[in-house]
Amino acid sequence: MKAMLRPIENNEGTRCCKFEGVADVGAKLQRAGYICSKEIATVVYLAMVTQKPILVEGPAGVGKTELAKAVANSLNRRMIRLQCYEGLDEAKALYEWEYGKQLLYTQIVKDKINEVIKDAATLTEALDRIAGEEDAFFSERFIQPRPLLQALYSEEPVVLLIDEVDKADPEFEAFLLEILSDFQISIPELGTRKAVEIPFVVLTSNNYRDISDALKRRCIHLYIDYPDQDLELKIVQLKYPEISRQLALQVVDAVRHIRKLDIKKKPSISETLDWAHSLVALQVKDLSPETMADTLNMIVKYKADMDLIRRQAGHLLK
Amino acid sequence: MVNLTLKFVAFARGSGLRISTSEVLDCLNHLALVDVLDQEQFAMTLRTNFVKTYRDQPAFDRLFRLFFHELRDADTSKHAGTLNGHIEEALAAMQQQMQPGGLPQPIRDFLLDDPLGYLQALQAGRAEQMGPGQALGGNMGGLVNRLAIMLALDNARSAMARYLSENRNSIPWEIREDLNAYFTARLRNARDLLFENQPAVGAGVQTRISQDQRLNQLSGKAFQALTPKEMQELREVIRKLAAKLKDTLNRRNAKRSRGMLDFKKTVRRSAQYYGLPMEVVYKKRIPHKSKLVVLCDVSGSVWSAARFMLNMLYSLQECFTKVRSFIFVSDLTEITAIFERYEADTAMDKVLSEADIDYQAATNYGRMLRLFQDQYLETLNKKTTVIIIGDARSNYQDPEEGILKEIREKSRRLIWLNPETKQFWYSGDSEAATYQPYCHEFRLCQNLDQLHDFIKELVL
Ligand SMILES: Nc1ncnc2c1ncn2[C@@H]1O[C@H](COP(=O)(O)OP(=O)(O)OP(=O)(O)O)[C@@H](O)[C@H]1O
Ligand SMILES: [Mg+2]
């Protein structure tokens, strides 16, 4: 509603940095190349307005990572990505203190230090004077910010993507919770630092491990499932506008059928897109069982899955 | 809207969904931001706040549909507006008629537009069908199963018909028509809900109810009373408990080891570099890990308790520097190697078939202690915790408590777990009274709850 009252419409040329409502999220994400359901749009909108992180779950390749990128794109924000893995620690995620640099600087300015304390009467006085210059020794200069700190330090609001958080160790999760709770962090050498702008945070999980309840409570949740027929068709047509509607429909329907089979790895949106791409490249007009058998390796990766689908190819194309 | 949402929360919680207060508050704030008249936006705002894992999503969707759609079809609420006073009056009269017991409260509320109690009764009835166990709460007004609910609904229907015909003269015709339509629709609703074919998606919530109940039953049940199937279930439970303990421990350690500079060490190392602190040393987390030595009586009934303890300890191996385990009846055999080679469940079976021990021999604690003293006493030190699990029934042979005293002195802690019911501890051939004074702790360990408490204290 509000969007309609605005005097000037946001068109693609102008910078926009906000979503004006659920419908606006859908429209803007689409312009950024991401087709989303109203459900996704609702959650994204809520996350933006309430500044709460979104925890996205869903099978591989349904566009979890892509969603964060699209949000960044459409809000004209920089995206900062933290890819999680086992053993990821604060030094890799937050900042590293550059002792080497600090030492080097200290060496170089040694003479200067001597000058400062030259006429100090007592040791205490000398120390006091050095302490007076402490800021020079412990300053941001010697900090190498990693993704999380970059996100907090950024003058412009960013989208912070914490990808596959379930791969990180539980210790790291606890630490993440602290940051996401109040968007501030205490650095022993420098004291507490607060976020300049609260970032739009997206966490993704592939359910490799259960996330702690505390972290879940901090986030709002979004489950992205395989898209319905209509949505997937739109995605295919958006990415390959040259594809005929009929072929696109055949592809989408075949993939949807294949997902229902009992196979090891279900084809995701990226596989649908790969398949559509190669069919377009091969100038296929109509998907026959033969073409399907020939191009099957685009959608299934396991031999057992392939055999199962070949046997059913006839049924899948009805 | 707030009220309705709160009612839904109560209903969903009653049906097994876990929703925290902060999540409810968040949700209410969020509802002010979206268009609540848009079905999808409204549903999604609830879902994104109340469901935090994909596993609960089907359950949520079902509860949502049940609560917001099947109970609120347009025509019932339309009637309700004009009929307000009359409905209460009719219900009061029906209450009178339906003796004995009257109209069960949940059904009465349901007919009055508060479905919560009725839905809970249905859920409870369903959980009931899935297996034995307590249905939810006791205040269902006798609606313990589907049959009882069906009968109550039928009774309500005839009471309503009677009420309408008896008051033919006192209630205007149109009102009677509307009342009839209203109650018929509501009762049909109630019946539909009752007979609704359980769609697969509903399974989540129900199995969760019965699983939680099941767990309560199992973790309080004495180890030796478990059936083989229950033992299998319990293994799974132990796996989860162990994982949870590890998580807790890791989180705690993470807090402790937050990038502190080890000043002393850094200065000491800097001596190599003309006083420049080239190598910066951080304080390591304080590993308060201990070494465990476990002695398990595997005769008869004690084994069932011992195996669960071993299972749990080895699932938590990382929390200790070393776990050495022994089993005994009369002889003593070390089984550490088996547990190091195989995963806990397999190891357990191997212990029984491969360990070199005579299970028929008479249990002899004194002999066991002597054997331990000969071969292993040296290995104990002030970092070792010794755990003995057994009923201390030693067939009236020399208990050798002196050796136990030595063990206590050489180790950090000596803990005895007794799986036998407390009343029997000091009777017959039990040496519990003899051994108890030498142990730092002498505790009852009969079921998973007690075992879990013990192990929690041990690792945290
Ligand atoms: N809704 C969508 N609109 C447009 N493109 C999409 C959409 N969903 C997925 N895609 C496409 O699918 C590809 C895979 O998506 P993405 O890498 O985000 O998946 P993911 O869920 O992060 O997978 P993983 O779990 O493996 O990390 C993207 O490159 C994108 O092109
Ligand atoms: Mg991804």
Highest mean pLDDT among A57-71, A284-298, B120-134, B213-227: A57-71
Cβ(B94)–Cβ(B156) under 8 Å? yes
Average pLDDT of chain A? 84
Calculate the alpha carbon distances from B381 to A251, B370, B413, B416, B440 in Å: 70, 18, 10, 18, 16
Alpha-helical runs (H) found in A119-223: 123-132, 134-137, 147-153, 170-182, 213-218
Q: How many contacts, defined by CB atoms under 8 Å, are there between A and B? A: 93
Atom of ligand 1 nearest to the CA of A238: 4
B9 shares its domain with B133: yes
Residues of A in contact with B255 (CB under 8 A): 174
In a domain, B153, yes or no: yes
Please tell me the predicted confidence (pLDDT) of residue B125: 64
Structure tokens at A133: 């210059």
Q: Which of B45, B46, B251, B280 is the best residue to mutate to test the A interface, defined by the most A CB atoms within 10 Å of its own CB?
A: B251
Please tell me the predicted confidence (pLDDT) of residue B268: 82
Which residue CA neighbors atom 6 of ligand 1 most closely?
A: A63
| Domain spanning A22-86+154-184+194-223, CATH class | alpha beta
Confidence of residue B196 (pLDDT cuts 50, 70, 90): low
Residue B116, SS3? helix
The mean-pLDDT minimum among A80-84, A244-248, B94-98, B179-183 falls in B94-98
Over residues B52-56, mean pLDDT: 86
Residue of B256 and A287 predicted with greater confidence: A287
Q: What is the 3-state secondary structure (H, E, C) of B122-189?
A: HHHHHHHHCCCCCCCCCCCCCCCCHHHHHHHHHHHHHHHHHHHHHCCCCCCHHHHHHHHHHHHHHHHH
Nearest residue, CB atoms, B251 vs list A170, A210, A217? A170
Residues of A in contact with B278 (CB under 8 A): 103
Whether residue A269 has its Cβ less than 6 Å from ligand 1: yes
B271 shares its domain with B190: no
B339 shares its domain with B269: no
Please tell me the predicted confidence (pLDDT) of residue A47: 95
In a domain, B212, yes or no: no
Q: B132 Cβ partners below 8 Å, 6+ apart?
A: none
Please tell me the predicted confidence (pLDDT) of residue B256: 56
Distance CA B161, CA B166 (A): 9
- With the most atoms of ligand 1 within 8 angstroms of its CB, the residue from A36, A44, A57, A66 to mutate is A66
* A25 has a pLDDT exceeding 70: yes
In a domain, B78, yes or no: yes
* A102 has a pLDDT exceeding 90: no
Residue of A5 and B437 predicted with greater confidence: B437
Q: Count of CB atoms within 10 A of residue B61's CB?
A: 17
B280 shares its domain with B409: no
Whether residue A270 has its Cβ less than 6 Å from ligand 1: yes
CB-based contact, B346 to chain A, within 8 Å: no
Q: A88 Cβ partners below 8 Å, 6+ apart?
A: A167, A168, A169, A172
Distance CA B89, CA B210 (A): 39
Confidence of residue B201 (pLDDT cuts 50, 70, 90): very low
For B323, the domain range is: 291-459
Cis amide prior to A289 (ω within 30 degrees): no
Residue of A107 and A258 predicted with greater confidence: A258
Structure tokens at B249: 């421990």
Structure tokens at B67: 């609560």
B135 shares its domain with B183: yes
B150 shares its domain with B274: no
In a domain, B243, yes or no: no
Residue A282, SS3? coil
B176 shares its domain with B42: yes
Tell me the Cα Rg of chain B.
Answer: 32
Q: Tell me, in angstroms, the distance from the centre of ligand 2 to residue B229's CA.
A: 40
Confidence of residue A67 (pLDDT cuts 50, 70, 90): very high
B147 shares its domain with B272: no
In a domain, B236, yes or no: no
B299 shares its domain with B448: yes
Distance CA B155, CA B105 (A): 14
Cβ(A64)–Cβ(A221) under 8 Å? no
Distance CA A274, CA A286 (A): 17
* A88 has a pLDDT exceeding 90: no
In a domain, B221, yes or no: no
Please tell me the predicted confidence (pLDDT) of residue B142: 46
Which residue CA neighbors atom 4 of ligand 1 most closely?
A: A34
A200, exposed or middle or buried, with CB in 10 Å at 0-12, 13-18, 19+? Answer: buried
B139 shares its domain with B10: yes
Percent of chain B with pLDDT over 90: 20
B176 shares its domain with B29: yes
Residue of B7 and A13 predicted with greater confidence: B7
Cβ(A278)–Cβ(A233) under 8 Å? no
The mean-pLDDT minimum among B36-40, B129-133, B241-245 falls in B129-133
The mean-pLDDT minimum among A96-100, A122-126, B384-388 falls in A96-100
Distance CA A268, CA A299 (A): 8
* B198 has a pLDDT exceeding 50: no
Record the pTM: 0.63
Per residue in B136-157, pLDDT (tens digit) is 334 444 455 677 788 888 888 8
Report how far apart the first and last C-alpha atoms of chain A are (Å, whole number).
Answer: 43
- Tokens 């990693």 correspond to A146
Q: Which of B26, B27, B30 is the best residue to mutate to test the A interface, defined by the most A CB atoms within 10 Å of its own CB?
A: B30
Whether residue A35 has its Cβ less than 6 Å from ligand 1: yes
The total domain count for chain B is 3
* A70 has a pLDDT exceeding 80: yes
In a domain, B92, yes or no: yes
B164 shares its domain with B51: yes
Per residue in B317-334, pLDDT (tens digit) is 878 888 899 999 888 889
Average pLDDT of chain B? 79
* B345 has a pLDDT exceeding 80: no
